[in-house]
Structure 1
Amino acid sequence: MKIPFRSSERASLGVEWELQLVDRRTGELSPGAIEILAELTPEGAAEPAKAKHELLQSTVEVITGICTTVAEAQADLAGTVAEVAAAADRRGLDLMCAGTHPFTDWQTQLISPKERYLQLVEKMQWLARRLQIFGVHVHVGVRAPEKAMPIVNALTQYVPHFLALSASSPFWGGCDTGLASARSKVFEAMPTAGLPHQLAQWADFEAYMETLISTGSIESVREVWWDIRPHPDFGTVELRICDGLPTLDEIGVVAALSQCLVEQFDTQLDRGYTLPTPPSWVLRENKWRAARYGLDADIVVDEKGTVRPVRQALLDLAEELEPTARRLDCADQLADVERVLAAGSSCQRQRAVAAAHGGDLRPVVAALVAEFRDGLGGAA
């Protein structure tokens, strides 16, 4: 089975941001996407170009066009968010983002009336209905299909870095899960989600997709929701590991890390290097540690079992990528790793708000709404 890979400009960038619609009075997730997107849809179009439906009617996904720099992607998102926010405001709704909603019961949520989502729920049942989760996806352009799988495999060693930095889902159904990222564990239950299979080359990916389609496991490549995957239609490698991020500042950090890492691996392939494929046991262990402990995790850094704090690993990675970031004009966003480490990840900030209010989670929603509006540190 041949899968065309529409090669992209090197290190081009696209970002997808899944936003929660919350009732201004109660803080609960509230349906509103159908009306908001209808209001923003140009005459004759099916939906807006840069705002989309997601599985739940309480979600609007905003997406960039094809960008060159992280700053361009941030500005693109900000423009669309302003339109969505204005339409939401007219309906008494606020916007926020985190990997989960702190207390809304997933059983109360309405599914978007799109055939794709209705089929997903029919097929996956409870696994799909409880997907009240929100993420950030970053696409980075790759010029040739033969580079895609080596880059995907090499990126997997950074799954704990991205997950710890973005962890924003400590609460589920009004309870503290004890995890930094409950979202990642909820999503892993889907049969084609989680860590990617280690496939050496594009032909291996094509053969695997053919098997899944021919056996009826999936209908198209779009139904493979790995934490990191090639996206043939866009000609990108897509990093899907991150929890929903509350601020554009944090979006900038993960976008800069993503763009720099892909660019670095692309350059190494051009120079004839063989990219690393980490052992699967290390990948599984490190993802669990990041999901459980977030920025307090110690991660495994070699096959001998050597561990080091993920905070230090993030600082070292930012330093290593700094020359690449200067070339890509995202050095400022990459340097914001230190701001996030100083402020704490969203899961840490949410727990601090809950503790300050005797465990009441309504102020957590208010803080997330304020952060979304004002930026990292703005709510404080």
Structure 2
Amino acid sequence: MTVPFATSARSSVGLEWELMLADEETGDLAPRAPELLEALGSDADHERHTITGELLTNTIEVTSGIGDTVGAAVDDIADAIAQLRELSDPRGIGLLCAGSHPFAQWYDQQVTDKTRYHKLIERTQWWGRNMMIWGIHVHVGVDDVNKVFPIINALAIYLPHLQALSASSPFWAGERTGYASNRALVFQQLPTAGLPWPLTDWAQFEGYLDDMVRTGVMEDASEVRWDIRPAPRWGTIEVRACDGMSTITELAAIAALVQTLVEYFSRELDEGRQLPSVQPWFVRENKWRAARYGLQARVIVDDKGTQRLVTEHLREMLEVLAPIAEDLHCVREFAGIETILAGGASYARQLAVADAAEGDLHAVVHHLLREFRTGPARTLDLAP
């Protein structure tokens, strides 16, 4: 099977953000995406952004156009949210985002009436119906198809760092899970989801797709749901490992980190240097550690098995990436990573709110609604 990799501008950026719809008063999920999309009609047809439905009717996805910078892509997302709020606010529909909803139950949710979603549920059954998960997808343009898998394999070393920074699903169906990112472990239950296979070149990827299509596992490359995957249609590498970001400033920070990492590895390849890699079993262990412990995780950072606190290792890489952030004009967004490290990721803020509210998860939802509208609060400011 021949799969062409589209031409794209090097290190261009595209963003996708999955948002929950909730009742402003009760905080419970609201299956009102079809209503909002019908009201939207064709109003967004001439915008750079898109606003679409997702697997469940409690979800809206906003997508940027192709941005030369992270800031341009984030501006598209902000425009999409502003347009969406014109419809949601008068209807009492709140917008929020996290990797999971703190207390909603899967059996109360409705599947969007589209053939591909019904096929997914028919095949995956209970696990498919349990996909009450929300995430972000960051696309970064790559200028040479031969770079794609070396960069994906190098990015796998930083998958736990991205997962820990974005972790925002400590609760599941009313339970405190003990995980910073329960979403990470739920999502990998779907066929073709989870960690990417350690392929070395594009020909191996084409062979993988040929095997999967020939045996009826998938229909095309769009059904590859890896945590980091190639997106042939767009000519990008797409990072899908992150939980849903609770604020737009944190979304921007993660996008800047992904963009600078991809550009860094691309420059290393231009200079003829081999990119770092670790054994696949270390990658798998790191994913679990980040899901379990978030920013307190100790991760394996090289093929010798060296272990470091994820925050320490990340700060070292931030120093290396800082000049690239300047070149890519994303210094302001890139600085948001240090803000997350200093103030805590969303999972920690949610846990603090739950503790202050004596375990009332409705307080956590209202906290997420406020954060989505106004931005993250400092840890000391958290209150139910």
TM-score (norm 2): 0.96
SS of aligned partner of 2:91: coil
Q: Percent identity?
A: 49
Using the alignment, how far apart are the partners of 2:348 and 2:377 within structure 1?
A: 13
Residue 305 (str. 1) matches residue 337 (str. 2) = no
Deviation per residue, 1:28-82 (Å, 9 max, x gap): 011111111122221797x995111110000000000000111111111111001
Deviation per residue, 1:252-293 (Å, 9 max, x gap): 111011100111111121222222232111101111100000
**For the Cα contact (< 8 Å) 1:162–1:242, is it kept in 2?**
yes
Residue 118 (str. 1) matches residue 151 (str. 2) = no
**For the Cα contact (< 8 Å) 1:41–1:48, is it kept in 2?**
no
SS of aligned partner of 2:229: strand
Residues 17-28 of structure 1 aligned to structure 2 (within 5 Å): 17-28=17-28
Using the alignment, how far apart are the partners of 2:48 and 2:40 within structure 1?
A: 6
Matched to 1:169, the amino acid is S
SS of aligned partner of 1:95: strand
Residues 32-111 of structure 1 aligned to structure 2 (within 5 Å): 32-42=32-42, 50-111=50-111
SS of aligned partner of 1:62: strand
Deviation per residue, 1:177-202 (Å, 9 max, x gap): 00000001110111211110011100
**For the Cα contact (< 8 Å) 1:42–1:48, is it kept in 2?**
no
Distance verdict in 2 for CA 1:323–1:49, change over 3 Å: closer
Using the alignment, how far apart are the partners of 1:357 and 1:249 within structure 2?
A: 26
Residues 331-346 of structure 1 aligned to structure 2 (within 5 Å): 331-346=331-346
Structure 1 stretch displaced more, 122-131 or 103-112: 122-131
Using the alignment, how far apart are the partners of 2:308 and 2:146 within structure 1?
A: 33
Using the alignment, how far apart are the partners of 2:49 and 2:118 within structure 1?
A: 22
SS of aligned partner of 2:121: helix
Using the alignment, how far apart are the partners of 2:241 and 2:188 within structure 1?
A: 11
Deviation per residue, 1:203-243 (Å, 9 max, x gap): 11001000000010111111110000000001000000000
SS of aligned partner of 1:125: helix
What residue is the counterpart of 2:357 in the other structure? Answer: 357
TM-score (norm 1): 0.97
Using the alignment, how far apart are the partners of 1:319 and 1:369 within structure 2?
A: 34
Using the alignment, how far apart are the partners of 2:81 and 2:49 within structure 1?
A: 13
Using the alignment, how far apart are the partners of 2:43 and 2:356 within structure 1?
A: 48
Using the alignment, how far apart are the partners of 1:248 and 1:125 within structure 2?
A: 33
Using the alignment, how far apart are the partners of 1:166 and 1:129 within structure 2?
A: 24
Using the alignment, how far apart are the partners of 2:49 and 2:68 within structure 1?
A: 18
Residues 319-338 of structure 1 aligned to structure 2 (within 5 Å): 319-338=319-338
What residue is the counterpart of 2:255 in the other structure? Answer: 255
Matched to 1:161, the amino acid is H
SS of aligned partner of 1:350: helix
Matched to 1:108, the amino acid is D
**For the Cα contact (< 8 Å) 2:49–2:62, is it kept in 1?**
no
What residue is the counterpart of 2:153 in the other structure? Answer: 153
What residue is the counterpart of 1:138 in the other structure? Answer: 138
Using the alignment, how far apart are the partners of 1:256 and 1:236 within structure 2?
A: 15
**For the Cα contact (< 8 Å) 2:56–2:112, is it kept in 1?**
yes
Using the alignment, how far apart are the partners of 1:146 and 1:44 within structure 2?
A: 36
Gaps of 5+ in 2: none
**For the Cα contact (< 8 Å) 1:17–1:63, is it kept in 2?**
yes
Using the alignment, how far apart are the partners of 1:233 and 1:129 within structure 2?
A: 28
What residue is the counterpart of 1:371 in the other structure? Answer: 371
Aligned-pair distance for 1:305?
Answer: 2.6
